[in-house]
């Protein structure tokens, strides 16, 4: 397996972490008694909407920023947005709390298409199919892993559940160390003697 394989698979664990802190909802309802039940529930659901927008924008952003760099940015957004409630809950501002959750959703939304895209860049044939299969399995494994971690952290207090997002630092370090930026393929367009491109020449490819 390529050195990039395990870090990329580990990054897929983060795709299931938006709902990891759902056990904190009853405590949030008590902390914010003036906030409606629907708004409290949106603490878990709103990141998914932000993720959809980020997923749609990820392709265009990757061509400008680079896939690896954008994945690292996505992981940082998950860490920042995921741990921010530790500081924001005492402020009593549910709006700021929801802003932090939207940041988490954007981070996950960036990772979702780019993890699979990077696997397609570094693996070929049967190995690529195997890696993509493992990718789906790792998302399911992430659900179990995060549930166990959150349960263990909440023994220390319900707000401690948000420390679970610090685990993403390990994945950030692995991606930084072992996953290079994919090389963009460049195609030379045949040029006629007059200096213009031949009509049958291949069009430039953009990755």
191 pLDDT higher than 80:
no
The parent domain of residue 102 ranges over 5-178
207 pLDDT higher than 80:
no
Any domain includes 197: no
How many domains does the chain contain in total? Answer: 1
| Range of weakest confidence among 58-62, 67-71, 110-114, 203-207 | 203-207
How far is the C-alpha of 197 from the C-alpha of 190, rounded, in Å? 6
Any domain includes 190: no
User: Would you state the torsion angle of the CA atoms of residues 150, 131, 182, 16, taken in this order, to the nearest 10 degrees?
Assistant: -20
Any domain includes 152: yes
Tens digits of per-residue pLDDT, 102-159? 999 999 999 999 999 999 999 999 999 999 999 888 988 888 999 999 999 999 999 9
Any domain includes 29: yes
Q: How many residues appear in the chain?
A: 207
Tens digits of per-residue pLDDT, 66-107? 999 999 999 999 999 999 999 999 999 999 999 999 999 999
pTM exceeds cut of 0.75: yes
Any domain includes 183: no
Helices (H), 84-124: 85-88, 94-122
Q: Per the structure block, which two tokens stand in for 68?
A: 């690896």
Any domain includes 170: yes
Taking residues 3-31, report their average pLDDT. 90
Which residue, 18, 12, 172, is CA-closest to 100?
18
What CATH number is associated with residue 67?
1.20.1250.20
Any domain includes 59: yes
């Amino acid at each position: 397996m390529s050195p990039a394989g395990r870090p990329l698979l580990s990054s897929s664990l983060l795709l299931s972490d938006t709902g990891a802190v759902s056990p904190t909802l009853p405590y949030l309802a008590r902390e914010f008694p003036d906030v409606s039940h629907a708004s409290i529930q949106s603490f878990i659901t709103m990141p998914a909407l932000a993720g959809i927008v980020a997923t749609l924008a990820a392709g265009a952003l990757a061509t400008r920023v680079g896939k690896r760099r954008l994945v690292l940015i996505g992981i940082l957004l998950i860490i920042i947005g995921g741990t921010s409630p530790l500081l924001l809950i005492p402020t009593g501002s549910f709006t700021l709390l929801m802003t932090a959750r939207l940041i988490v959703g954007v981070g996950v939304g960036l990772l979702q298409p780019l993890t699979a895209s990077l696997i397609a860049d570094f693996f070929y044939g049967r190995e690529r199919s195997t890696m993509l299969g493992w990718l789906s399995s790792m998302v399911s494994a992430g659900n179990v892993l995060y549930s166990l971690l959150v349960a263990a952290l909440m023994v220390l207090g319900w707000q401690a559940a948000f420390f679970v997002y610090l685990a993403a630092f390990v994945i950030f370090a692995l991606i930084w160390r072992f996953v290079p930026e994919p090389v963009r393929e460049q195609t030379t367009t045949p040029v006629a003697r007059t200096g213009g491109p031949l009509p049958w020449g291949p069009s430039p490819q953009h990755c």
